[in-house]
Amino acid sequence: MSKSTPLFELFEYYKITSKHIACWIFILLSGVSNTYANPGSLADIVEESSKAVVQIQTKREGYQTGIPPYDAFSQKKRHRGYSPHFGQEHSPNRRAPGMGIGSGFLISADGLIVTNAHVIAEADTISVKFSNSQTKKAKLIGLDKSSDLAVLKVEGSNLPHIEFGDSNAIRIGDSVLAIGSPFGLTGTATSGIISAKGRDLKMGRYDDFLQIDAPINSGNSGGPVLNMDGKVIAVSTAIYSPTGGNIGIGFAIPSNDANRIIQDLRTFKYVKRGYLGINMQALNQDLTEALKLKNRNGVLITQVQDKTPAQLAGLKAGDVVTAFDEQSIRSPDDLSRLVAKSKPGVAYKLELVRNSIDKTLLVTLEEQARLGEQDGTRISRNMADGDLGIELSEITPALRNRLRINEEQSGVLVTKVKVEGAADKAGLEPGDIIVQVNNQPAKDPNQCINLLRDEIVAEYALLLIRRGERNIFVGFKNNTG
C-alpha cells in the first residue's frame, strides 16, 4: 500500500490521535487523583488563628436559672434535638455548683475577647486559658443575652488576635473552619462548608444564623468560624443534635451582626437597638386578596403605638410594610430583626402599600428599652445571708412580652433558685410567678422578700404560685425567723 494513499494517511492520523488521547487521559486522571489525594492544607490558617483562640473557664454558685437567653427555645425546642447551650452541659433548670467550659477568641492586641453570653452567664469568676497554656483572669465588659454574645477583657499587650470578615460575602457551599475547645480539648480545629444562611431557630427575637456542617460539640460555644482568608465570619453558638453530639448541623452568629453588637458592648456595656412602635402580623392568602396586593411579601400593621417613631413617621394600621432600609420584608421577624439592628436616632426609608398605593416614608428610630439585668430590668437581690435562696424580679412590660405573661397576671417573677436552698426545697422553680404570700398579694420583690422573712410568719408560709397555665399552692419553710 502506498504511503501516499488516503487510507494510509487516515490510519496514521488515528494512530497519532489515539496516542494523544491516551496521553491526555493519563494526565487528566493523574490530575483528578492528585486533587483528591491532596486537596490543599488548612495548616497555615489553623496555626495562625489558633493562637488567638482561647478556652473560657467559669465558676458559679449553685443556682437554678429559669430565664436563660433563649428560654422558649430551651424549654420547647430541646426535645426536638436542639441544644442552644452546647458550651456547658448543665441542665437549663438546674445550675449546680461547679465549672463551665466554652471557647472565645481575641479581637484586639490589648486583650478583648469575644464569646457567647451563655458561656459566662451566672459566672462568679471567669478565667481564660491561652494556646500556650497560660491562664489569666478575665473581666466582663458587656453581655447581651438576646444575641448570645459577650465581651471579656484580660490584661496584656501585643496579644495574638484575629479580624472579622464580611459574613454578607459568604456563600452557601463556601469552605469554613471552626476552632474551639470541644469537651475541653483546646485548640481543636474542624472544617466544613456553609450549609445555609438566614436560619431562624426561634431561639431569640433576632435569629439569623449561618448553618455549618463543620463538626462542633460541647465546648465550642463562642469559638470562631473562619473563612479561607483566616477571617472570622461567624461565632459558634448552637447545634442540632438528637443525641447531644455532633451530627453535622451547627449554627453560628454572622460576623456582621456580631461585630456591630460587640462594638456597642465595648462602648456602652449594652446593645443599642432600634425601636419602631408597631404591632404587626404575617400576610396570608386571604389577606393578600382582601388588600388587593400583588404578592404576599410584607407585613400588615395592626396597631401603631402612641408617641412612637412609627406614629411620628405617619404609619397607620392597615399599612403593609414591604421594605425597610431597602431590604425586602417577608415576615414580622424580618422587620423586627432589621429594626433592632438599626441605629437609634437615624432616619431610615420605609416602603409600604396603603390602599393599593405604594408609598415611601422616612422613620427615625428611638432606642429600644433594655431587657434583663444587663439592660434595665430591676432585679431584687435580697439574698445576703442566703437563707431564702431565691432571687425575684418585677414583671416589667419587657419581661411580660418576652415570657408571654398575660397582661392581667400580677405577682413577682422567680428568676433564680439556689440549689438545696429553702426555695428549692419548697419546690419553687425559675419562671414561677409568686401571686400571694399567706393570702397577701405579692406586689414587688422587696415586699415579697419581707413577707417571706417576716418574723411573725409561722414556720411555714403558704404561697400561691402561677406556673405555666395553672395555679398551685406551695408550702415554704421559713428558716429565717
Cell triple for 306 = 402612641
Give the contacts of 479 (CB within 8 A, at least 6 positions apart): 387, 422
Phi/psi for 374 (5° steps) reads -70, -15
Cell triple for 180 = 474551639
How does DSSP classify residue 19? H
Give the contacts of 461 (CB within 8 A, at least 6 positions apart): 437, 438, 451, 452, 475, 476, 478
Could you tell me the end-to-end alpha-carbon distance of the chain, in angstroms, rounded to an integer? 123
Q: Which helix or strand (DSSP H or E) is residue 462 part of?
A: strand 460-467
- Can you list the pairs that 195-202 forms with residues at least 24 positions away whose Cβ atoms lie under 8 Å? 195/249, 196/172, 197/170, 197/172, 199/251, 200/333, 201/73, 201/77, 201/82, 201/84, 201/238, 201/251, 202/72, 202/73, 202/77
Which residue in 83, 146, 147, 148 is the catalytic one?
148
- Count of beta carbons in the 10 Å neighbourhood of residue 240: 19
Give the pairing type, strands 53-60 and 125-129.
antiparallel
CB-CB contact of 382 with 423 (8 Å) = no
Q: Dihedral sign, CA of 112, 117, 123, 127?
A: negative
CB-CB contact of 93 with 429 (8 Å) = yes
Secondary structure of 100-134 as H, E, C letters: EEEEEEECCCCCEEEECHHHHCCCCEEEEECCCCC
Residue 309 CA, distance from chain mean position: 27
CA–CA distance from 185 to each of 44, 103, 294, 313, 414 (Å)? 20, 10, 54, 53, 36
Q: How many residues in the chain? A: 481
Give the contacts of 86 (CB within 8 A, at least 6 positions apart): 216, 217, 218, 219, 220, 221, 238, 239, 241
Q: Is 148 a catalytic residue?
A: yes
Which residue in 103, 118, 146, 264 is the catalytic one?
118
Q: Is 44 a catalytic residue?
A: no
CB-CB contact of 283 with 298 (8 Å) = yes
Residue 464, classed as helix, strand or coil, is: strand
Give the contacts of 88 (CB within 8 A, at least 6 positions apart): 100, 101, 102, 118, 119, 218, 221
Which residue in 83, 103, 181, 221 is the catalytic one?
221
Show which residues are catalytic. 118, 148, 221
